[in-house]
Structure 1
Amino acid sequence: MDTAPPPGLRERKKQRTREALLRAALDLFTGRGYEQTTVDDITEAVEVSQRTFFRYFAGKEDAAFAVQEMAEAHFVASVAARPPAEAPMEALRNALLDDWDRLSEAIEAVVPVELYVRMYRTIESTPALLAAHLRRSAETEERIARVLAEREGLDLDTDPRPRLAVAVFGGVIRVTERQWSTGEDFSPRAIRELTARYLDQVGVALTGHWRRPADLA
């Protein structure tokens, strides 16, 4: 008589199925094109039913952004956990850079970083995905702004500073990701170094002169 697998084994099997569907979806999106890929294509690649796919994902868009959503949730939690003594921009910077290795490991456990980069390029070049990406980014930035407002004891509806800080930080991250994804070194180390360098220039870029001292005379 067959018996059901123990809860731990059952959960691991579900996780493996979800990750297999996710990898297949990203492979197809980046190789064949997002619009040209159907849910049937994804399920056939993993040899499961459509019902199984929809048990884990609401649709193609949900699968396309699953890894990014995981990374964003990790970052929001890291910001909330930063020491209260850190200034807001410092907390954002440290939340990203201090937890970089753990975040990279979490992504690598699900998909190869090379596939993650290819998917980023696909999002940038697919109008429907780019529109969804901008919408999702705005929602994430709002969550982060609320975390900053709470840790600073501010009213987000009357004080613009949390949203302004997050807008600047988010802009730097978007520029960094774009530069990294179009470069030659796709390693996590490369994007970490690029991100740190760009963040270090924020203060000077926003408040300093860009021309050489001789040109200002």
Structure 2
Amino acid sequence: MSQESPTTRRIHGQDADQRRQARREALLDAALDLFARHGFHQVSVDQICQTATVSTKSFYGIFRSREDCYLALHNHVTEQVMTQLAEVIEQTPAGVEPPVSALIEAFAAPYLHEPRYGTVLFGKGAAVTPTIDRLRRENRQWGAEFVVTIWRDTHPEVDVPAGVAIGVVGGLFEIIRQWSKGDLDPDTLRTELRSFYDATHQGLFGRRATRH
């Protein structure tokens, strides 16, 4: 009978890749909880490892630094938002403005599912470093281009300045930031995001009814 090599040996039914993934998820869960409760700058790698019951050596085998761990949380949320917004577009006929309720739900989904993301990415738990600031600007730029594409496709008669869309996306993120400091009621977030978007839409395109 052939024996498994060390790289393929299974422990508790998991191979090396599965164990690495499990450690990564444990570290991210611990980091999310600690960053939300204490803030990025008050949490050490050792604290994350102790909470996750993962060795420091294993941490550095997965993440380069505490900032890298934070970026993984940030990118996880961003990917969810991009994926769900893309699905809304795919389900909407060409030339028709996507339902606002669907856009808002897609944009807010990660924060509604896990309110701690709002605290960690925008609230008291947020990190402030040059790399993270640059990533936030890139995300806002992507969001602005997404909004401009929708508006130009569905309202070609109106020239929408790119700066307006950047302001809209920034306003939506600010609403999430403020919400993350409050009671975290899901309907409050949906209502405030929708009200802000509708007000901007009416200001640009008049009182055309936005689709529900």
TM norm. shorter chain > 0.5: yes
Partner of 2:124: 122
Give structure 1 stretches of 5+ with no counterpart.
155-159, 209-217
**3-state SS, counterpart of residue 35 of structure 1:** helix
Deviation at 1:198, TM superposition (A): 1.6
**3-state SS, counterpart of residue 122 of structure 1:** coil
Partner of 2:70: 64
What aligned pairs does 1:71-82 form with structure 2 within 5 A after superposition? Answer: 71-81=77-87, 82=89
Taking the aligned partners of 1:13 and 1:39, their CA distance within structure 2 comes to: 20
Taking the aligned partners of 2:190 and 2:33, their CA distance within structure 1 comes to: 25
**Moved segments of 4+, more than 6 Å:** 148-154
Change (3 A) 1:166 1:136: farther
One-letter amino acid of the counterpart of residue 63, structure 1 = C
Deviation at 1:206, TM superposition (A): 5.8
Taking the aligned partners of 1:19 and 1:42, their CA distance within structure 2 comes to: 12
Asked whether 1:97 is paired with 2:99, we answer no
The answer to whether the Cα contact below 8 Å between 1:24 and 1:45 also exists between their aligned partners in 2 is: yes
* 1:54 counterpart (41, 54, 60): 60
In the superposition, the TM-score normalised over structure 2's length comes to: 0.65
**3-state SS, counterpart of residue 121 of structure 1:** coil
In the superposition, the TM-score normalised over structure 1's length comes to: 0.64
Identity %: 25
Taking the aligned partners of 1:92 and 1:172, their CA distance within structure 2 comes to: 19
Deviation at 1:199, TM superposition (A): 0.9
Partner of 1:213: none
Q: How many residues matched?
A: 190
**3-state SS, counterpart of residue 58 of structure 2:** helix
Asked whether 1:29 is paired with 2:29, we answer no
**Structure with greater proportional helix content:** 1
What is the RMSD computed on CA atoms of the aligned residues? 4.0
Taking the aligned partners of 1:4 and 1:177, their CA distance within structure 2 comes to: 45
Deviation at 1:137, TM superposition (A): 1.9
**3-state SS, counterpart of residue 9 of structure 2:** coil
